[in-house]
Structures are given as structure tokens and as C-alpha cells.
Structure 1
């Protein structure tokens, strides 16, 4: 094989020199393909980097822009809210030093001119109607328990609970107070809104200096809600100093999550902007503190909602990126399809060559590098096919010579035993038995010769064995019986000639002859999957443990080394040559209990298969 490989190498080397002109006019397709591949990779990397950078920068810019907008938004809302309170405070200031109220508080009600009361009532209505930001003005004079209103006039018929609440309010010390629970203590006017913010300012007597009542300027909460809702973008709310929501314009889902904003107080008024995670969602907050009503003005927005436009842009960018990658992939695939398609043809032929098919050829026309490689491969496959066929035929002839030699060793041994038996019968004068023996030997050799063929059907083998058993029964005068048990399915299969006869001979010679009594021999054959199994079993003398170990060593080594056991070794070697290394002969025995020989072969000889494959090649 070394010599053959050297010849192939020399031949390829000569061919490479003769084809040197190919290098001058070959096409540089590989360089173009490399450039296309590098361009595709660069395009892919640039697209991915652009997507990542743009996405990060865009999201950061959205946060910055929204943060700035929220600060501006809350600044404008604060201006409007402060303007409403300033206007209400100015309205209340009108009545703190009003002459009529000072006189009325210090005069008995019966002595007061009714005309003056009507004039003040008209004045109050006029002032209340002239202010767009004030819904109603209430003035309570404690000495007379009189309540002047800008929408329903004056009344002294107050509910005791209302009077009690007013008197309790009079006892409190405050300069200006903002409350949202004033309206719930006034039960008289159904048309007045239930949601009101009231600014309370006490009235003092200019003469006595004591508190004589208070002015209540009522503002409808709708005005605040309109301001809060009028700003586009985030949610806007007003909370008291404890964080409870007073009013606002909030989306339904946000209102459910932010029912309590007590955590606002964890941040100082200087923290105009901060982030807070509530549940699984993060919010951005902008806060402004209103000192006068002691309220928090809070504007907030969900980061998820904030990033929704960015998410949509991400999807568009992702789609664009995928389209670009698809186009790049299609381009690269088109360019490289020819290259890898040609390589695949070579790989397929090499795979067939690997599995023993040397009739391979890559059909390729061209003058590029791959065409040159394909031509070299075709030449190599052709040379390997020629060398393989040569070596195979040599190996086949060698094995055939081995089989014939082993087969030749079997026949002389058997012939020697037969003539020895005939001589023994002739000396004893057993002429009738000698006649039967000669007839049995003739029948045996008629089947055994098999026209010189190495293979014989199982049915013929069994008939041959029966003739052989007949010969041995004549010699041993019926000291043993032989039973044949074979499956009908294997009778037409072919078997190597003279494979079972030496084993049966051993069962008779070494199993029956040493025993004084009668013995039985069983010859059994059956099929197991793709194997033929034969059992030759006797109940004769058996083999002691030491000799059995020697026999197994001889069978394993394939050589007797002068230890004997030529028949078993010969059969075992012939089986392995004809059927392969996985087949062979196994022996099991115990002294005094008989011997069992198991023969395992394939349905078809390996040599025959190789020969047929060689013909097909």
C-alpha cells in the first residue's frame, strides 16, 4: 500500500507541473467573494451599531425633553393657581375694613336701617358677579349670627349645626385659611357646587379689636381642574400637605396606582424632579410647593407611556434593520451560492469515496482554482480505484489459497480414518459390515466432492452428515444415536463444505469412544436474525477443565502451537476467513456431562460479498 500511495503522489505531482499554465489565466473569484463577505459584515455591524446608538440617544433625549416640559408645565400651572388665590385674597380684602360691617357688628339688629342692609347686599352680589374666578362670597357676622351671601342674599335662619361650626371656627386663630370642607356645613343652597375651595379671612372690629366674623371666598374646584387638565402631556394633581389628592386631571390607570402620594413629603421642595418606582412601573415626578394654601402641585408621567413613541420607533428601526440584514443576506447568499454549491459537490463525492465507492467523479468545466482541484480529485479517485481492485484481487487470491489449503488438510485426515476402519474390519472378518461401509463411503463422497465447489446447501450438508454417521455407526456397532433437528427455512441456504463434519467426528471419537455405555448426539440448526446457528451436542465423556482452557486458547489464537486440536482449529479458521472475524466456533463442556459446540456464521459468506462488490465497482 505504501508503494501504491507513492505512485499516486508521483502521478499527481507530474500532473500539477503539466497544468501549471492554469495559474496564469485563472479567474480571481475567491477575492471577489472575500470582498463581498467583508462588505456584508461591515454593513451588518454598522446597521446594528446605528440601531443601538440611535435607540439609546433617542430614549435619553425623550427623557430630557419631557423633564424640561414637565418643569415648564408645572411652572405655568403654579402661576394660574397662585393667580386664583391672589384674586380671591383681593376680594376678601375688600370687606375686612368695610364700614357697614363694622357698624353692623356693633349695633343692635333692631336699630339697623334695613335700607343699609339691602345696599350692602347689593354690593356683595355685584362684587361676587364681577369676579370670574370667584363663585360665591359669604360673610358671617357673629354678634347677629347673620350670614351675607353673594348668590342668595342675607339670612339669619341658620341651622344650629352650622352656627356651632361657625362659632368653633371663630375661636380658632388664623389669618388666612384654605379649606375644602366649608361647603359640607352649608345645607341651604342646592345650586351651589359641592366641590369648592374656600379661603377664610377673619373680620376684626376696628374699635374693640376683637374678632366679629369672617369672610369666606368660595372657588369652584372645576376652575382648578380645568387648569390642571388644560396642560397637555402628563398628569397634574393638587395634594394637601399630607399627600392626599385634592383634585387633578389624571388618567384612570394612574389614579388607581397613585391614590396616595404621601411619599411626596420624602422629597424636599427643592427636588423639583425625581423618579419613583411604584409597583412594577416607574414614574417621573415634577413637584412644586405652594406655601399659601400649603399644597403640593405635582405633575407626573409613566416612563412606559413616555417611552411608547420610542418603542414604536424601535420597532420601525428593528424592521428596517431586519430588512437590511435580509437584503444583505440575500446578496451574500447569491454571491456565495456558487462557491459553496461547488464545494458541496466535492464533499458529496468525497463522502462516497470514504464509504468505498471509488467510481466517483466531479463534473466541472472551468479554469479556476476549484476546477483544478476537481480534476486532481478525479485523477486521485481513478488511481485509488485501480489500486484497490489490484490489492483486492491479490487478497482474494490469498484467502482462496488459504481455504483450499485448510480444506485439503480436512480430506486426508478423514480418508485416513476411513481406511483405518476398513483395515480393522477386514482383519476381523466383518465382511458384511465392510460392504456397508464401502457403500456409505461412496455415498458420502458423492455428496462431499460437490463438483469442487466450496459452498454447498444446508440440505446437502445434512445428507452428507447422515452418510458419515452411518459410516461411524458401522465402526462403533451402534453405540450412539444421532438426531437431526433443522428449521426448514435454512435448508436452501448455502454453507461452507466440510464445516460440520469434523465437529461431529470429534463428538463421536472423543465423546462416544471413551464411554462404555450408549451416547446421544444432537445436530441442531436454526436462523437468528441474519445469522445461522448450529449446535452439535453430545452426552458423552466431556472435557476436563484444563483441556477445555487449552482448546479455547487455540481457537482464540488461531494456531495450535503443537498442542493438537487440529480439526477444531481448522474449522474455526475457515469460518473466520469465509464469514468474517465476528463468526466462529465456541465450545462448552464439563467432564462426564458431555460437550456442546456452537457454530455461528452469517447467512452469506463475507468473501462472496466482497467479490460481488468488486464486480460492481
Structure 2
């Protein structure tokens, strides 16, 4: 059935959306806001009704939870004399003597001991008016029953004649408690048709020998609980109190709940117990508090319909308020839709004017979303006009750049010719050292200019470093050792020009020239996957503050050029230790498409 409804619902939604698209924007805004307002009001009304109903129930439960705690304390006070009387027997030497030294072989105590027990039990029963009867039995099965109502004596006679009272289930339960008082919601000695008594059973343990002497049973009228609950209704018609014995030893969760006490209309009792047992809570609301002394649950119950009366009133108020809100939302939706459409109309007219070639926009737009679109459109038109002018200026600058490039290609030839003349003059005058230095300087300039290309072969960058180191060693009479360890398989790959040689020059200037004695510079290069790794290190004086190195123009320029060319897929790292040296590490992506022509190192 659900699968049949879903396609129908989807079809209805598609028709509604299609119909909405056919409306004007103004009507779309109006009906969208109206529908949202109706749905919001409906959902809000339902939520308010449910929350108000739930809040009333929670408030009622919280209030009566405190009342139940007070009732539990009153019950504890009522049970305290019984508990103290039973515990007082353990310190009564006469009672202990009777319980442990009885020699009778039948279910009766001896006449002498019987009189003693009659006096003791009589005092207990007389002490508390609610106590109906008392029974004591020792470990041998000798027992004494005392009651205010002599007609109940015959109901326990079978224990004297045939049945062994120590084999009853309540004896086992009391034994498991090991001397702690155990409360049963019914009379454990005999079936009580009126069900007007509950039993307290206690295993009697000698406080000195710690041996079991027997058991004590006190049967008490349930009418004593009436004082614990005050008035019956407390301002409510269906308000009721009850006490349930829900201990696992007495109730398995499926059998009828053992009812200890019920205070309220009797005609609803069975329905309440059935509802509570099956955990339905459809008709009634429960508040429960467990009494620690007895283990019983003290429960307040009330019909939910009585509590929901006020929430129904709130529901009607919410409905009337919702209808008023929906009517007001229609008015607001119409006003807002008109307000939104106004700048749209202005924007439409502006676009039409620009389309006709009128670029002078006089319309003014506000700061709303549509107004921002209008202002951006005005800015776009203005930017297009400015862009047209800039394009003209760019074309002029491109022509100028071509002339400058031609000039830059001419000047290096003049420089190379001059260096060649110096070289040959040095050879003619047998100044071999000078000739060699001039040749190294010429190679350095050629490789640095790189015919104007951004990229350079690794082998040419290495050749440039070699030429530079050759010049420095000639200046400083061979003070510097140059160690080269670059893999052959990367020599024909290209990298960004002018990034390795400046680092070597920086190491020479800041690290080795300031050092006494000889120095060493090493250059290592290899390939790892799609990356080239270069490690340049020296054993110079080192750098104390690396921040100063990063502030330098040379390092900052290298980083910026690498970032602009390679993007984010690179690593540049500098480390230094004073009097040990400095190391620079470059990890650069391999350039896969190379447009620059190779540079010769000769």
C-alpha cells in the first residue's frame, strides 16, 4: 500500500512544481511563502500541543514523585517499631534460651516455654495496633502462633499436625536474606480472602554464636498505609495510589502483579493492574518510587485524559493563533513579493538598455541580494569598458617589449665579443691564469643569460656552478673543495634557471669566505619518482638566526620564483648550525613539457 501511495505523491509534487514554474516570479514567491507559512504554522501547532501535553505529564510525575518519597518515608516510620521489636528478641536471653534449648519432639513448645513465648509475642502484637498476629518457629520445627483474632488459629493448625512449616517457600526466601527483614505483600501463613494483611519474616540468628535459631513472622493490617497517602484525590478525579510487590522472587513479569495495597476507585483496579503489567501506558500515567525497606514500588496513577484537558484548551488557542498567523502571512507574502520584484524590474530595464548599446547606467540599486546583482552588473559593464582600454594599452606595451627583447639579444653578443678579446689578449701575453678566468666568466654569463629561457638543463646549471667555483678558487688560490654528486639520468632534464648557482654563491659569501682555512661545498642531485632532489651543503661558519636568512632578498627571490613556476608541488628547506655549516634542500617536480631550447655549456 505504501509503495502505491509514494508514486502518486511524487506525481502530485511534480505537477505542483511544474505549475509553479509556469507562474510569474512574483506569484512564485507569494505562493512559496504562503505554503511555507501554512506548513510551519501547522507543524508548530502540533509540536506545541504535544510539548504542552508532555510537559503537563512530566510536571505531574515530578510533583508526585516527591509525594511518593514522602509516603515512603512515612511507611518506613510505621515499619520501624516492628523491625526494632523483632531485632530486640535477639538480645532477650529468655527468648534465645527458649529457641535454642527446646527439647520437644513435636511441633509444640513445652508448656513452660509456650507460656514464655505467649508473653513475648503478646507484647509485640500489643505494642503496635496494626499487628494482627505473630508466629515464631525454631530450627527444629517447634512453633508458637499468637493472634488477636482467635478464629485464625485454625488456619495454621495443619503446621502442628501434618505439614512442616520449614519447607515453605517464604522460609527459603528469608534464609537467603540472612537475618534481614523480608516483607511479603500477602499473608504467608494462610490464604486471606480479604487480603487485608501483609507479612514480615525474619531469620533469627544468635548474635553470639551466629547460628540460626528459627524464624519470626509478623502479620500486619494493610490499613496502616492509609496514613501514608493523605487525601485520596488531591484535586484530581482519577488520582489513585497503590503499592506493588515487584521483587523477582514474587513476580516474574508475566503473572498478575502482586498487589499489596490499593487506594482509589475499585472499579478501575483490574484495568490499571493489567495496563501496568503489560507496560502499555496508553490510558494511565504512572509515577513510581521504590521503598528501600520493603523493596515495594509505591505508585501514583492517573488517567491521561484528565491531564490532557488543559492541553486540549492550549490546542484550541494554538489553532486560532495559527489561523490568524496564516492570514497575516498571506498579507506579508504579497507585500514582500512586490518589494522583491521592484528591483528585478529595474534590473531588467537596465539589461535591455545595455543590450541596445547604452552603456551609461543611471539606475540605482539597494543593498539587497537583487540590488547587489544590479550593482555587480553595473560594475561589469564599467569593467568591460576599462578592459577594452587596457587591451589597447597592452598591445602597445607588447610592441615595446619586442623591441626591448631584440635589444637584450644584441647586448650579450657585445659582452661575449669583449670577453673573447680579453681572452685572446691574455693568451698572446702568456697570462694563462687570466685567460682561464676570463673563459670561466664568459661561460658563467652565457649560461646565466640562457638565451632568455626560463628553463635550463641540469647539466648546464651544473656547468655554471663549476665555472663559478673555478673563478672563486682562482681568486682564493684553491681554498675551496667542490664535491659534485649528480646522477647522470637527470642531466638532460630541465629545471627553473638561476636557483642552484645563487645558493652556491650565497654559501661562498656568507659561509666560506668568513671561515679561516679551507672550505668545502657539495652538490648532490638525484631523481625520486616524479621529483628531482638537490642537496647543497657547505662546512662554513653557519647561521645563528635562520629568520635573517629568510629575510634576505636572494633566498626570498628564489622561493618566489619557484612558487610562481612550480605551484604548490615543491619543497625548499634551509638548515644551519653554527661552526658546522649550512644545507639547502630542493625538491622540484620534473618538467614534462619543455618548450625552451637546450643551452650549450661550451
Normalised by the size of structure 1, how large is the TM-score?
0.36
- Bigger CA radius of gyration: 1
